[in-house]
Structure 1
Amino acid sequence: MSTIFTLFMILIMIASILLVIMVMAQNPKGGGLSGTFGGTSSAQFGVQRTNDFMEKATWTLGAIIVVLILLSVILTAKPSQQFQQAPAKKEAPAPQTAPGTNNSTTMPAPAPAAAD
C-alpha cells in the first residue's frame, strides 16, 4: 500500500516541477522562449510552434497532476474510510401485553389507600 502511495507522490512531484519550469519559461507578454530563439518576431520558423508547445505542455501537465492526485486518493484509500456509516440505533422493544388487552395508553390503576 505504501509503495503505491510513494509512486504517486514521486510522479506528482516530477509533474509539478516540470509545470513550474514550463510556467517560468513562458513570458507573460507572449515572448517566452521564442524571444531567445531569434528575436521578438514570431514569424520566424519554429518560434510559433514553440509557443504552442509550451502552452499545450502547461495545460497537459496541469491535467496530469489533477488526475494523479485523484487516482492516488482513490487507490490508496482504506476500504473502511470509503464507506464509513454510523451504526444503526436500536429501539427498545415494545412492551408485551397479555392477549385480549388493549394496547392503547391507559391510566394505571390507583394504588390502594393505606389504612389509618
Structure 2
Amino acid sequence: MFTLLISLIVLFSALLIILILVQNPKGGGISGEFSSSGATQMFGVQKTGDLVEQLTWGFSIAILVLVLVTNFTLSSGNTEGIQSINVEKASTKTLPTAPAPAPATK
C-alpha cells in the first residue's frame, strides 16, 4: 500500500511538472501556439488552456491528498518494516564510557 501511494505521488508530481512547463506565465502557454484572436474562440483553443489549468489544479490536489493519506497510514502504526535509518543506527550503537577523572594534584 505504501509503495503504491509513493509511486502515485511520484507519477503525479512528474505530470504536474510537465503541465507547469507547458504553461506560459503570461497566459499563452499551449494556446499561445495557435495565436490568432479570432481563431482562439472559433477552434476552441481557449478550452485547451482551461484544460491545462484544470489538470494542474487536479494533480496538485491529488498530490496533497495522497501525501496526507500516506502520512495517516504511517502514523496509524502500519509501518511493517519501514523505519528510520537513524533509529536503526542508534539501536546498534553503544555509548563510549567516560574516562576516569584525573587525580587531583596539590
TM-score (normalizing by structure 2):
0.65
Counterpart residue number, 1:22: 19
Mapped pair 1:48 → 2:46: yes
Larger radius of gyration: 1
Give the match for residue 95 of structure 1: none
Q: CA deviation at 1:80?
A: 9.0
Matched residue pairs, number? Answer: 77
Match of residue 39, structure 1, among 19, 24, 35: 35
Corresponding position of 1:65: 63
Q: Gaps spanning 5+ residues in structure 1: where?
A: 82-116
What residue identity is the alignment partner of 2:35? G
Q: Specify which structure has the higher proportion of helix.
A: 2
Seen in structure 2, the aligned counterparts of structure 1 residues 53 and 80 have a Cα distance that, compared at 3 Å, is closer
